[in-house]
Every structure is written in C-alpha cells, then in structure tokens.
Structure 1
Amino acid sequence: MARNAELAELAESIFADSWDVAAAGLDRAAWKACDEAGLTTLTAPDTGGSLDDAAVLLEAAGAWAARVPLAETDLLAGWLARAAGLDVPDGPLAVVVTGPTGDPRPAGTPGGTVTGDGATVTADLVRVPWGRALSAVVVLDGGRVLVLDAGAATVTEGANLAEEPRDGLRLDAVTPLATGAAPPGAAQELVLRAALARALLLAGAARGALARSIAYAGERNQFGRAIGRFQAVQQMLAEAGSEVAAASAASAAATATAQREGFAAPAAAFAVAAAKARCSEAAGAVARIAHQVHGAIGFTREHALRLTTTRLWAWRDEDGDEAFWNDRVGAAALDAGADGLWPLVTGRP
C-alpha cells in the first residue's frame, strides 16, 4: 500500500506540473519525466513493477488527462514485443493488430493490412494511437510480430473526440526493426489488456471530473450561497460519486484478478469485460452531471473540465463500448450455467 501511495504521489506530481488546458498532442515534458522515473516500462519483468502499479499510474493519468501513451507503450506494445522475444524499442510505442485473430475485435480499434515476406513489408495502418509521435509500432500480423519504424511512415493525421492522435500510418517496402513469432492467444490477450487499461483511464477521468465539479460547486455562488449547498446539486454530486466508486471498484477488481490469474484465465476475461462495461457506463453519467454542475461555462474550450469529459466520451467507446463488453459478460454467464455462475461472479467455489 505504501508503494502504491508513493507511486500515486509521483504520478500526480508529474501530471499536475504539465497541466495545460490549451495544449494538444504528445506532452514531451511529461513523457520525459515518466521515462526518467521508470514509469514507461513499469510492468517489464526487470523493473519489479506489477499490473497493480500500472493501475495506480493509469488512474492518475486519466484524472489529469495526461497526454502520454503509457498504456500503449507498456501494457500493450512492450508486453507483445517481450512475449515475442524481441527487444522493446525506446520511446512512445503502440500496438496494431492485423490479419485474422479468431475472435471479433471491438469496432474502431487500430488495424490495417501488412503485406510482404518479412524481409521487407508494406503496411497500411489505421487509427494508430499517437501515431505521429511514436518511435515504433509493434504489429501483430497473424502468427508473427513485427516492429516497424514509425519515423519512416507517411502520416495521415486524425484524432478522437478528446483530440488525442488516432493517425493513419503508411510504410512502403520497409525492413522491420525486428521480427518474431507471436505467442499463443496474443490477439485475445491484447483485447483484454487494452480494455483493462481503458477502464482504468476512465475511472481516473471520472474521478478527475468529479473532483473539479465538487470544487466548482463550493466556489460558485448563486442566490447568496455556494451552489454546493443546494440539495439538488448535492444529489447530483452524490450520484456522480456513486458512479466513480463503482468504476473504481470494477477496474480494481479486474486488475487484481488479471494479476492473480493471468489474462488467459476465464475469470480475468469476465472481470475485465465487467469492468470496461461498467466504466463506460459510468463515463456518460459522470460527464453529464459534471457539465450540469458547471453550467454553460464547462462546455467552453478554455475550461479545464472539457479535458476530462471529452476523454470520458471518447474512451467509453474505445477498446469496446459497454454494449460490446456486456455481450461478453452475458455470454460468459450463459456458458457458466446455473452451477457455475456464482463462482464466476465471486471468484469463490
């Protein structure tokens, strides 16, 4: 617990120092600070970090709308490269899955095509997170893993609702930086890892939006007193608080299960599905209430609230929306049957 508290304090200090309402794109100062503190490779085997540590970091990043691809670099690209026996490149990274995966993937996730015999390849990749700022892209293409130099790509810039880069990358007849064999079940694990990371970011962003709403309700006066003293506003904030608590609990439970059981375990798949569904559901409610409390001022581009609420709206759909993951929850419950449902939900026999 002490380690998590120290990690949270470190992360909050880095992200608070780089807070900038008007900025967009990669926050290079925050990335450098995270890299120097070892936060960009937190779950690598030689660091002593864990999935629980990553959860603390990602919640803080979500609360401060940090413009750094920590989940993409460490939990996704770094993991896949290491699992394929490859060296992890320095700098910001992202993962793209192309080719057959065996299971349906959430709509709107990074994808594309890769052609070539491996000595040279041509890649056309779409919706690559932070594409324009990456040092490399780790591509899962069927049974192989390719590390491609993102600096050699032609970039078609795009963005999600929160103005985070979601770019197209085109690489023509390039030699991969490294090539390896994909580990079994890599595509399915990447889907779960991405969903858990996004759930943690959502839980953090919801917490950040609530904190700013509570502060504003204590500062804004109407009819001779702070609006936070009106029962209607208190009730809205209490509702938002319950949504934040539910999102935090669901994402924490999924993190603990995945850390204990591994992502390949059915219990982990169920917990991650429930967490992403619940956090996506909470995102809409918290964003709505936050803007109701702030009134029209909260919708302006100059106001800090939009940094968290636009992320809540964007992230609730990325890596699978609540409908996608609720389908997974329902399918798992049906597969478990009457005798297996209680152990599935509780993790106990």
Structure 2
Amino acid sequence: VETMGRDNDSYQQAFILLGFSDRPLLEIILFAFILVFYILTLVGNTAIMLLSIMDAKLHTPMYFFLRNLSFLDLCFTTSIVPQLLWNLWGPEKTISYHGCVAQLYIYMVLGSTECVLLAVMSYDRYVAVCRPLHYTVVMHPRLCLQLVTVSWFCGFLNSFVMCPQTMQLSRCGRHTVDHFLCEMPALIAMSCEDTMLVEAFAFALGVALLLVPLSLILISYGMIAAAVLRIKSAAGRKKAFNTCSSHLTVVSLFYGTIIYMYLQPANSYSQDQGKFLTLFYTIVTPSVNPLIYTLRNKDVKGAMKRLLRGEKGAREA
C-alpha cells in the first residue's frame, strides 16, 4: 500500500517544462516576441468578433464561421501563452499535474475543433462561389449552427479519447517535459513503456481530424478554381479569388505545421523543431488570421469605418 501511495504521489507531481531554458538569451527575445503576438491576437480576434456581432451587414454565414474561428484562436492562445510567458520570465518552469492535464485537454479540444471548422468554412466558400443563387437557401442559420456544433463535437471527442490515454502512460518518475507546454507528442515521448498502441490511436485520429477535413478543403477549392476559371469577367474572377484566398492562406499556415507535427512517430520527433513549429501555429497563426481576413476584405473595412463613425457621432452628440 505504501509503495502504491508513493507511486500515486509521484504520478500527481508537478511537471517541469524545459521549453528554451538551455538558451536564456533566446528566452528574453521570445518573451518580447510572444507578448507582442499575444496582444495582436487578443486585439485582432476580439475586433473581428465584435464587428461581426455589431454590424448587421456582417450577419452572414461567412462571418458567423469567422466569429467562431476568432473565438477558437483567442481561447487557443490563452490556454498556452500566460503559462509560457510566466515560465520564460522567471526561473520557475513548473506546471502542476492538474494544470498540465487541463492544458492538454483544452489545447486538443480547440486545435481539433479548428481543423474541422476550417473544412466547414471551405464548404461555405464553395457554396458562395459555385452556387451563388442558392447560397442563402443552402447555408441557412440552422445548418450553420449544426456545422459549428459538429466541429466542436469532433474536438471534444478527440480530446476525451486521446488525453486520458496520454496521461495514463507510465513515466517511471520522469517529470521533465522537453517542451514549453503539455503537448501530446512530447508527453508520449517521455513515457518509459511501449507507446505503440497510443501512437497508433493518435495517428488514426490524426488522419480522421487532419487529413479528412484537409481532403474536403482541397476538393472544395478544386471545384471553386474550376468555377472561377469559367467566370467571363475579370472583375468577377478577382472578387471570387479575394473571397477564397484569405481562407486558403489560413488553411495552409495551420494545416502545414500541424500535419508535420502530428503525423510522424514520436521517436522521429525532433524536439527543437517541434517547439518552433508549435510556437508558429499556436502564437503566430492566430495573430495573423485577423490580418489575413481583414486586409483584403472590403466588408470588414466598411464595418470598421461605420463603427468608428458611429462612435464619433455618439461622442459628438
């Protein structure tokens, strides 16, 4: 009983997140870099959410999905960045056992949900470009809500299957995670038992949640490209291209890094490479998403101008 108690105590011990602790100068640079990108993420995504709620012209399926994406990105970075900044700033590199479990669950729910949501958004763009006359009939509010619910369901399902399997692996008293967050590949790599079954599960779910949505995105964009090439007017082609290029850029940034990270065996996983790729898709991508969607978007720029004019008018009154 005493041995079991000791094992249980060590099982619930805090984890040490090594992060970039072997390079103190890099930690200082990363602290400033991550803080700036986190502020951009908070401001950009909050602005998109508020604009799409407050401006009646943005009450369309596209902006309903974009609002959900902004909410996801906001939560995604917030589940990681405060802890990361704390660890980069001071000598303390620990995270409690329950904190690590919570971070893994939240991070996986949000990441998996985003994979499916990006596929849903590509379907929305396909209907807008390929079936414009039927757009409002096909993309009715109930269907939009159902598609977002399915995205969240897939995210929760993946997390509730993989997280317990990852955390239950025997670590033989090891509590040092060679990463800056409690991420599944790094936690699997820490284990002292045979992880082949867990890795096989992770790979199968990775294929289901990464490659299936990505295939649907590529099919949607293949059909969109064919439809755009059939448009006679240059102005019409440009409008269709602008509508889709933002989403395609976001998809490329997000999926490119995640597929490289998750669809390879844990033993071939380069920790340094993994850390920088994770930094990219958890911190850089969510901060540039609002820029990608607004820079080429007249609707959002118009909504911003109307909102600022309204506020100015309100102040003058």
**TM-score clears 0.5:** no
Higher relative CO (CA 8 A, sep ≥ 6), structure 1 or 2?
2
| Greater fraction strand | 1
Q: TM-score, normalised by structure 1?
A: 0.27
Higher helix share: 2
Q: TM-score, normalised by structure 2?
A: 0.29
Higher-Rg member (1/2)? 2
